[in-house]
A and B are shown apart, each in its own frame.
Chain A
Amino acid sequence: IQDDHKLSTLELEEKYGTSINKGLSSARAAEILARDGPNSLTPPKATPEIVKFLKQMVGGFSILLWIGAVFSWISFGIQLAQGAESPFDNLYLGVVLALVVILTGIFAYYQEAKSTNIMASFSKMIPQQALVIRDAEKKELSADQLVVGDIVEIKGGDRIPADIRLIFSQGCKVDNSSLTGESEPQPRSCDFTHENPLETRNIAFYSTTCVEGTATGIVINTGDRTVIGRIASLASRVGNEKTPIAIEIEHFVYLVAGVAISIGVLFFIISVSMRYKILDSIIFLIGIIVANVPEGLLATVTVSLSLTAKRMAKKNCLVKNLEAVETLGSTSIICSDKTGTLTQNRMTVAHLWFDNQIYSADTSEDQTTQPFDQSSPSWTALSKIVTLCNRAEFRPGQENFPIMKRVVVGDASETALLKFAEVILGDVMNIRARNKKVAEIPFNSTNKFQLSIHETDDPNDKRFLLVMKGAPERILERCSTIMINGKEEPLDSEKAEAFQTAYMELGGMGERVLGFCHLYLPENEFPDTYPFDTDSMNFPTSNLCFVGLLSMIDPPRSTVPDAVSKCRSAGIKVIMVTGDHPITAKAIAKSVGIISATSETVEDIAKRLNIPVEQVNRREATAAVVNGMELKDMSLQQLDEILCNHSEIVFARTSPQQKLVIVEGCQRQGAVVAVTGDGVNDSPALKKADIGIAMGIAGSDAAKNAADMVLLDDNFASIVTGVEEGRLIFDNLKKTIAYTLTKNIAELCPFLIYIIASIPMPIGTITILFIDLGTDIIPSVALAYEKAESDIMNRRPRNKKKDRLVNEQLAVYSYLQIGIMQSVGAFVTYFTVYAEQGFLPSTLLGVRVDWENNAINDFEDSYGQEWTKYQRMYLQWTGYTAFFVSITIQQVADLIIRKTRRNSIFQQGLFRNKVIWVGIFSQIGIALILTYGLGHVTALNFTPLRFQYWFVAVPFAVLIWVYDEVRKLFIRRYPGSWWDKNMYY
């Protein structure tokens, strides 16, 4: 534990070998920098690139393919040793399989690296600067160059660049909320006030913000050794949960691998017991594995996810981890911050009270006018006070900016008032210039008011105008009259009552209320030359005229209520977690719909029924506002109960640590939890969440590091668009997988029939690879562009235990129905090709051994013609090509039917997704190139096919389409029926 806060300045200078006036020498600083490393948080330990790469090489189906490749090489070795005629075929096959694994691995690695790079470049976008004294000179340095012993200067608005022991401070206040959760700015001075370094006032911590004042200090800790750094490294130890889509893909890989291995082993046994040679059986096994494994699918999934990630990035959701794209879609609870995410993070005037009436002001982001009634003379008076009794000013040179976007020098409330006045009255600075200020008492915490005295802009009126604003009750105390419709009326108890009611009402809305009053100083007592003295207050400060109230709030972003209601209809529970006061939190929650208008908290019910809180049936209350203090004393069960029983929950006055507790509580309910956060201390919660969402603007680097996603505009509504994209991609991945799995059966059946019926091989292993990695790739990616079939935001989030990506229905429908249809269609083509060349189907059965015998060169066909081995091989390749073409043609139909799972294709629109057509044309184009362009390269086993064979499978393609339309029709007609249960995937 450090005791730097106890040391005197001299001791510090000695300890760190520095001088307060001169700072470190550059050479010394460089030395320390070399020893301690840069002043930045080490990002969570990244997996070494090579490990990432190797993971891609063995992940998913790669193992199966490696097994296939090894088997190929083994059989090559055996054949070579036996001196067989063409052992090299197997060598090549092994090489091709290995290449497939390596290339898809490289591809996946590249995709992942690309999305990681986006993030890396993002975090480097804004390098922090620090003002340092080195070599007795003030220098601007990049903050990561700071070393222990450096003397740094900070001023209001800066982020503290390291842990700093203050040696000089002037009105310095820091916002420690990201560290301790305290939302009030903490004063900082040079005095040692507390034994605990975290509590003492003379240390400012890395990554907190200096809100106001200036200070100078010695850097005592940098980088990971800072207090924040230690917390952040703690956070990185919170394990990363597997994303839902990763679980789904794993499930799918297991399923397909299970099918591949069981069929492979089964047929290995069958072929051995059918007295095939072991070597042949192994080669069959390879074929079965290759046919069963959708080699291109994982790459396709990656591409689809990154396409969605790109789309989301356009909508301001930057996804760090590709898989998080889908996680957002399955989110069932969002724990959202209030400030900045749900709200605009800017005080804005929300209500006014004058003439005994409450007026609402426009609080939207881009207000240009205010609609409330401004005809009353009271308003004129009030607006004058608002304009004049205000120290905030626009930074010069922003005349062309919209008022709401201009930068203001001044505190939040004054800024709000300034902008409010500017919107209504225009050119406030000019008004102030015309009403010259002669005296001013700024706001302080004892007076709780602010006062100024002005000349008026009316040349005939020589009176001074005294304007005052402050805490309403204090202002009222100083008033004896109240302005009603421009007339001063005595402030009787009735009027005071009205004031109280209005004040309570505005305060009850969680708004910060200010009272305004004025007084025209009589000309005879206060002539032109009257010397106003603010210290002795030689002017009246009581018996003023009360004019009105203004209340301010950090208003919700205008897009948020809509987004929250979308979440609600999408079955997503939005929980607000904020450090703010419960009343403000509840007010904002109500105004954005997190607590709906009709629902009540336990306290509301108690108030309505006029009974003690304890007697209320807790189940009747749908909403709950939980205070951080209550949460502290709660057992896990109690927390679970709250999370379970209330659909609308607000956690107020919570510390960032409690966020983690809340997230864990939600996860115990089986929910997929999204968490938004910006502070360093949010990072454990962000990590723990199924998807952590960091704020791009307000977020700290640690938060961004821990998060899976970064909201570039800090806007809650962006999350909702992300949810929509996530759900869409889940649906579309289902379609992609269904599409891809289907043809696996058409690739597998040939092997099975070849083994059982001993016909000439209908399709080659290489040909299969050309389908999986050639013709099918673009179409399956094209399905990622498919529009949603229905309003996906009206559905509940998927249940991660029940709604699997690849469910039984999908596998069965693809494998046993459409897949079998495809196989039949392809076999018709196969038999047609052979029959038209002289081998009738009956001749083909049981012919395998002789057919493949190299020595038999007078093989007789059904017509008595005799074929040499090579002529037969060529015919066999023609068969491969025909089978390939048939599968391709039927895959076109498969692609079209996969556009929808429930709706008719005609409802979905055949041409709405243009990319599908790109897919279809690419598919046919690639097939044409392979068949006619590469048909003469014998190693690829393609031959130029007679053109009519392209159409043999067309009836089956049509059948697939019609059958699927019928399937969908029945599903739509008879929801919940046997058909629906078994056929809807």
Chain B
Amino acid sequence: ENKHEEKVQNPNREEDKTKAEMGSKTWADLAGEMKMFLWNPEERTCLGRTAKSWGLILLFYFIFYTCLAGMFAFCMYVMLLTLSPYTPTYRDRVSPPGVMIRPYLNGFTIAFNISQPSTWQPYVDSMHHFLAAYDDKVQEEKNIECVSGQYFIQGGNESEEKKACQFKRSLLQNCSGIEDPTFGYSKGQPCIGEAARPWHCISYKPGCLLFLQIIGYRPGAGVPVSVDCKVQKGNESNLRSVDFYPGNGTFDLMYYPYYGKMTHVNYTSPLVAMHFTDVKKNYLVPIQCSLNGKGIINDVNSDRFLGRIIFTLSIGK
């Protein structure tokens, strides 16, 4: 008889259900349902699963993910095995070389007032810090002297440690910060109408080093790559003269090729220092310094650091 009663009640219950489905659920109902879902004390289920069920499913996923992680690790291991520790498999994306300047503090604008040391002191500190690795003593201690004007090609086993050529700070002469610890930032204070003498280093590290060794790539194909600077936009006369060190702004061939971090441990990238001796003052002067040489690309629009660098000088009194 019970059964019969149940049947009679059934339609009402169904109706309630449909009503609920039609979205007229109250928030209290919803909260209650949620609570029940989170923890159902009758069936002892949490989020619809009993402890045993949770245990099983977690165990399954633990095993599953462990296996997957194992497979990942194995694939990565195999992949890494195929790599040489000395030279990357492909170097096509990193050459031709890009260019960077020092000092580099917050972007590519160098602005200071000669009369206010606090405005240029950070640049000076940055330079000293950067050039510390080029101190003559350090260089003499670690590196050898090479024959200028030709590539320093070191054959032998790939894994052998490679020697690096000395690049002494003193080569930068006026820009070395040895004679003038302010790198010219403070100079010209008395002679106001004249150019200030800040300077910049262009560091230039070619990328593809072993590649050079095999094929005999030479930056500039035997002729050293040189640097020149000009006003990027505006009046040419804003930048009247620039001095380059060393060797009129060339990167000596003996510093190439680079054999990579692993074997070429003490390699110090050669630098070119630029001495802007006559720049229009109290004026934003956009300057572009480019590398020139065979195989160097310096006119790509999308990459403004490829073979060239653009920065702004603003020197106040």
Instruction: Give chain A's interface residues, CB within 8 Å of chain B.
Output: 636-637, 640-641, 644, 668-670, 801, 816-817, 820-821, 824, 827-828, 831-832, 835-838, 840-841, 855, 857-858, 861-871, 874-875, 878, 938, 946, 955-956, 959, 978, 982
Which of A640, A670, A820, A871 is close to B68, meaning CB atoms less than 8 Å apart? A820
> What is the CB-to-nearest-CB distance from A847 to chain B, in angstroms, rounded to a whole number?
16
When chains A and B are docked, how far (Å) is the Cα of A918 from the Cα of B7? 53
Residues in B whose Cβ lies below 8 Å from that of A836: 83, 88-90
Further pairs besides A858-B98, A864-B260, A865-B205: 9, Cβ < 8 Å: A824-B72, A835-B89, A836-B83, A837-B91, A863-B86, A865-B207, A865-B209, A866-B100, A959-B71
Task: Assess the A816–B61 pair: CB atoms within 8 A.
Answer: yes
Beyond A668-B15, A837-B93, whether A982 also contacts B305 by CB under 8 A is: no
Task: Assess the A636–B72 pair: CB atoms within 8 A.
Answer: no
Task: Assess the B75–A828 pair: CB atoms within 8 A.
Answer: yes
When chains A and B are docked, how far (Å) is the Cα of A168 from the Cα of B90? 100
When chains A and B are docked, how far (Å) is the Cα of A835 from the Cα of B80? 8
Beyond A641-B7, A857-B100, whether A865 also contacts B79 by CB under 8 A is: no
Which of B89, B262, B305 is close to A869, meaning CB atoms less than 8 Å apart? B305
Which A residue's beta carbon lies closest to that of B52? A978
Instruction: Give chain B's interface residues, CB within 8 Å of chain A.
Output: 7-8, 10-11, 14-15, 17, 56-57, 60-61, 64-65, 68, 71-72, 75-76, 79-80, 83, 86-91, 93-94, 98-100, 104, 107-108, 203, 205, 207-209, 258, 260-262, 264, 267, 300, 302-306, 309
When chains A and B are docked, how far (Å) is the Cα of A202 from the Cα of B79? 94
Which of B88, B99, B104, B207 is close to A855, meaning CB atoms less than 8 Å apart? B104
Instruction: Provide a sorted-by-A list of 24 A–B residue pairs whose CB atoms are within 8 angstroms.
Output: A637-B8, A641-B8, A824-B72, A828-B72, A828-B76, A835-B80, A840-B83, A855-B107, A857-B100, A858-B100, A861-B94, A863-B87, A864-B264, A865-B91, A867-B93, A867-B98, A871-B98, A871-B303, A871-B306, A874-B93, A938-B302, A955-B75, A956-B71, A982-B57
Beyond A831-B79, A841-B76, whether A866 also contacts B205 by CB under 8 A is: yes
Which of A640, A816, A864, A955 is close to B261, meaning CB atoms less than 8 Å apart? A864
Task: Assess the A824–B83 pair: CB atoms within 8 A.
Answer: no
When chains A and B are docked, how far (Å) is the Cα of A857 from the Cα of B302? 13
Which A residue's beta carbon lies closest to that of B57? A982
> What is the CB-to-nearest-CB distance from B308 to chain A, in angstroms, rounded to a whole number?
10
Task: Assess the A835–B83 pair: CB atoms within 8 A.
Answer: yes
Task: Assess the B94–A865 pair: CB atoms within 8 A.
Answer: yes
When chains A and B are docked, how far (Å) is the Cα of A527 from the Cα of B80? 120
> What is the CB-to-nearest-CB distance from B203 to chain A, in angstroms, rounded to a whole number?
7
> What is the CB-to-nearest-CB distance from B257 to chain A, in angstroms, rounded to a whole number?
12
> What is the CB-to-nearest-CB distance from A817 to chain B, in angstroms, rounded to a whole number?
7
Task: Assess the A863–B88 pair: CB atoms within 8 A.
Answer: yes
Which A residue's beta carbon lies closest to that of B97? A866
When chains A and B are docked, how far (Å) is the Cα of A938 from the Cα of B301? 12
Residues in A whose Cβ lies below 8 Å from that of B108: 855
> What is the CB-to-nearest-CB distance from A937 to chain B, in angstroms, rounded to a whole number?
12
Task: Assess the B88–A978 pair: CB atoms within 8 A.
Answer: no
When chains A and B are docked, how far (Å) is the Cα of A868 from the Cα of B297? 13
Beyond A828-B79, A835-B83, whether A868 also contacts B98 by CB under 8 A is: yes
Task: Assess the B7–A644 pair: CB atoms within 8 A.
Answer: yes
Task: Assess the B80–A824 pair: CB atoms within 8 A.
Answer: no
When chains A and B are docked, how far (Å) is the Cα of A607 from the Cα of B260? 103
Which A residue's beta carbon lies closest to that of B300? A870
> What is the CB-to-nearest-CB distance from A80 to chain B, in angstroms, rounded to a whole number?
18
When chains A and B are docked, how far (Å) is the Cα of A388 from the Cα of B305? 108
> What is the CB-to-nearest-CB distance from A173 to chain B, in angstroms, rounded to a whole number?
43
Which B residue's beta carbon lies closest to that of A835? B83
Task: Assess the A832–B79 pair: CB atoms within 8 A.
Answer: yes
Task: Assess the A831–B76 pair: CB atoms within 8 A.
Answer: yes
> What is the CB-to-nearest-CB distance from A464 to chain B, in angstroms, rounded to a whole number?
69
When chains A and B are docked, how far (Å) is the Cα of A668 from the Cα of B11? 6
Task: Assess the A870–B261 pair: CB atoms within 8 A.
Answer: no
Residues in A whose Cβ lies below 8 Å from that of B302: 870, 938
Task: Assess the B80–A871 pair: CB atoms within 8 A.
Answer: no
When chains A and B are docked, how far (Å) is the Cα of A757 from the Cα of B99? 29
> What is the CB-to-nearest-CB distance from B285 to chain A, in angstroms, rounded to a whole number?
19
Residues in B whose Cβ lies below 8 Å from that of A840: 80, 83
Residues in A whose Cβ lies below 8 Å from that of B87: 863
Question: Which 9 A/B pairs are nearest by Cβ-Cβ distance?
Answer: A864-B261, A870-B303, A868-B98, A838-B88, A836-B89, A857-B305, A868-B305, A865-B207, A858-B100
When chains A and B are docked, how far (Å) is the Cα of A867 from the Cα of B83? 20
Task: Assess the A637–B83 pair: CB atoms within 8 A.
Answer: no
Which B residue's beta carbon lies closest to that of A643? B11
Beyond A868-B306, A955-B75, whether A863 also contacts B93 by CB under 8 A is: no
> What is the CB-to-nearest-CB distance from B24 to chain A, in angstroms, rounded to a whole number?
14
> What is the CB-to-nearest-CB distance from B266 to chain A, in angstroms, rounded to a whole number?
12
Residues in B whose Cβ lies below 8 Å from that of A864: 205, 258, 260-262, 264, 267
When chains A and B are docked, how far (Å) is the Cα of A866 from the Cα of B258? 12
Beyond A832-B79, A863-B262, whether A824 also contacts B68 by CB under 8 A is: yes
> What is the CB-to-nearest-CB distance from A752 to chain B, in angstroms, rounded to a whole number?
15
Residues in A whose Cβ lies below 8 Å from that of B205: 858, 864-866
Residues in B whose Cβ lies below 8 Å from that of A821: 68
When chains A and B are docked, how far (Å) is the Cα of A820 from the Cα of B10? 44
Task: Assess the B94–A871 pair: CB atoms within 8 A.
Answer: yes
> What is the CB-to-nearest-CB distance from A766 to chain B, in angstroms, rounded to a whole number?
17
Which B residue's beta carbon lies closest to that of A978? B56
Residues in A whose Cβ lies below 8 Å from that of B76: 828, 831, 841
Residues in B whose Cβ lies below 8 Å from that of A871: 93-94, 98, 303, 306
Residues in B whose Cβ lies below 8 Å from that of A668: 11, 14-15
When chains A and B are docked, how far (Å) is the Cα of A836 from the Cα of B304? 25
Taking each of B89, B93, B260, B262, which has the highest tally of chain A beta carbons within 10 Å of its own beta carbon?
B93
When chains A and B are docked, how far (Å) is the Cα of A858 from the Cα of B201? 14
When chains A and B are docked, how far (Å) is the Cα of A827 from the Cα of B17? 46
Which A residue's beta carbon lies closest to that of B22? A242
When chains A and B are docked, how far (Å) is the Cα of A821 from the Cα of B8? 52
Residues in A whose Cβ lies below 8 Å from that of B79: 828, 831-832, 835
Residues in A whose Cβ lies below 8 Å from that of B304: 870
> What is the CB-to-nearest-CB distance from A240 to chain B, in angstroms, rounded to a whole number?
13
Beyond A857-B305, A866-B98, whether A670 also contacts B14 by CB under 8 A is: yes
Task: Assess the B56–A861 pair: CB atoms within 8 A.
Answer: no
Residues in A whose Cβ lies below 8 Å from that of B99: 857
Which B residue's beta carbon lies closest to that of A247? B21
When chains A and B are docked, how far (Å) is the Cα of A837 from the Cα of B87? 9
Task: Assess the B261–A863 pair: CB atoms within 8 A.
Answer: yes
Residues in B whose Cβ lies below 8 Å from that of A841: 76, 80
Residues in A whose Cβ lies below 8 Å from that of B267: 864
Task: Assess the A827–B98 pair: CB atoms within 8 A.
Answer: no
> What is the CB-to-nearest-CB distance from B270 to chain A, in angstroms, rounded to a whole number?
13
Residues in A whose Cβ lies below 8 Å from that of B14: 668-670
Residues in B whose Cβ lies below 8 Å from that of A959: 71
> What is the CB-to-nearest-CB distance from B145 to chain A, in angstroms, rounded to a whole number?
22
When chains A and B are docked, how far (Å) is the Cα of A828 from the Cα of B104? 36
Task: Assess the B75–A865 pair: CB atoms within 8 A.
Answer: no
Task: Assess the A861–B88 pair: CB atoms within 8 A.
Answer: yes
Taking each of A840, A858, A982, which has the highest tally of chain B beta carbons within 10 Å of its own beta carbon?
A858
Taking each of B17, B88, B108, which has the highest tally of chain A beta carbons within 10 Å of its own beta carbon?
B88
Beyond A828-B72, A938-B302, whether A838 also contacts B94 by CB under 8 A is: yes
Residues in B whose Cβ lies below 8 Å from that of A978: 56
Residues in A whose Cβ lies below 8 Å from that of B93: 837, 867, 871, 874-875, 878
When chains A and B are docked, how far (Å) is the Cα of A855 from the Cα of B304? 11
When chains A and B are docked, how far (Å) is the Cα of A668 from the Cα of B100? 78
When chains A and B are docked, how far (Å) is the Cα of A363 from the Cα of B15? 45
Which B residue's beta carbon lies closest to that of A842? B80
Which B residue's beta carbon lies closest to that of A828? B75
When chains A and B are docked, how far (Å) is the Cα of A875 from the Cα of B90? 11
Which B residue's beta carbon lies closest to that of A821? B68
Residues in A whose Cβ lies below 8 Å from that of B65: 820
When chains A and B are docked, how far (Å) is the Cα of A855 from the Cα of B57? 49
When chains A and B are docked, how far (Å) is the Cα of A863 from the Cα of B93? 14
Task: Assess the B98–A857 pair: CB atoms within 8 A.
Answer: yes
